[in-house]
Amino acid sequence: MESKTKAIALPKKKAWDINFSYLSITILVMKLLVTGFMGYYLVIGIANNEINFDSTFLLFIVAGFVAQMIDGALGMAYGVSCTSFLLSLGVPAKLASASVHTSEIFTTGVSGLSHIRFKNIDKQLFFKIVITGVIGASLGAYLLSDIFDGNLIKPYISIYLLFLGVYIFSKAFKKRNDGEPKTKYASTLAFFGGFMDAIGGGGWGPIVTSNLLSQGHSPRHTIGTVNTAEFFVTYFATAVFIFVLGVQHLDIVLGLVIGGVLAAPFGAYLASKINAKVLLIMVSSLVIITSIWGILQAFVF
């Protein structure tokens, strides 16, 4: 009697089955590389008296702290807040976006590690948005640096986000649908969000987080996932900015980094503790306010 043996089929390992520790190590290694690179230019800047540690520098720290607290807890508004502040000080749009994205490498890195620590990540959703987000941001950074004026399209994005914010606000008061959230267009959405983020100096969070929440995704895991993916989106956008524009305004970058890094763990902690309904109300309110402000800046002021 012959014994028959059956081959055991091993399940295929998907990208989102990767352990969180590998993702954390990748973020740490990438942060170390950019820290060494920026540290070199920082030492040169201090030696040449190109960095002034005055009252304006303190404002950069405060701006970075406040913006990252909001971004870490609600998944948006770091770029929008910081870019608006820098533009009000007369910093050119290209350099403002480049400075904000450079500082975001550090703040989103710490924020991403914090969200991983508090288990705020949906790994499947993460891999759906991170690759196309990086491609979109890199393309947007190149166009803004060399060809395109991002201010032309920003008002129309603000109008779109205003309607989206109102829709999310209404969802906070509706009975939650326990069905599977939609992820069909997540990759396309991430490409658009990354592109607009680089073009306008902000927009990844409002565009990606808002749309995913409107499709029924968990507020806590959406915010954590989008924040963590933003590190990689920002990293490659900054690489393009540095390649085309070089390293400039280190005082702005350093101030935003100090404030943002201090705030990042607190923002991630808040996102893990705040009630889902409250998060939806806070996110939608922020989207509505920033959208109205963007519209007023474009068509009134």
Please spell the DSSP secondary structure of 79-106, one letter per residue: HHHHHHHHHHTT--HHHHHHHHHHHHHH
Task: Return the higher-pLDDT residue of 74 and 41.
Answer: 41
Average pLDDT for residues 3-14, to the nearest whole number? 48
Name the percent of the chain lying above pLDDT 70. 83
**DSSP state, residue 249:** -
Crossing angle for the helix pair 55-74 and 250-273, to the nearest 10 degrees: 30
Name the percent of the chain lying above pLDDT 90. 8
Task: Return the higher-pLDDT residue of 10 and 32.
Answer: 32
pLDDT tens figures, 156-191: 767 877 887 787 787 777 765 555 666 668 899 999
- b/e per residue 106-128 (b: at least 16 CB within 10 A): bbbbbbbbbbbebebbbbebbbb
Beta strands in 242-286 (DSSP E): none
How much is the pLDDT for 133?
94
State yes or no: pLDDT of 9 exceeds 50.
no
Tokens, residue 194: 């990354």
Task: Return the higher-pLDDT residue of 113 and 147.
Answer: 113
Residue 188 identity: T
CA distances for 184 relative to 6, 133, 189, 222, angstroms:
37, 15, 10, 15
How much is the pLDDT for 7?
46
How much is the pLDDT for 10?
43
Average pLDDT for residues 233-252, to the nearest whole number? 83
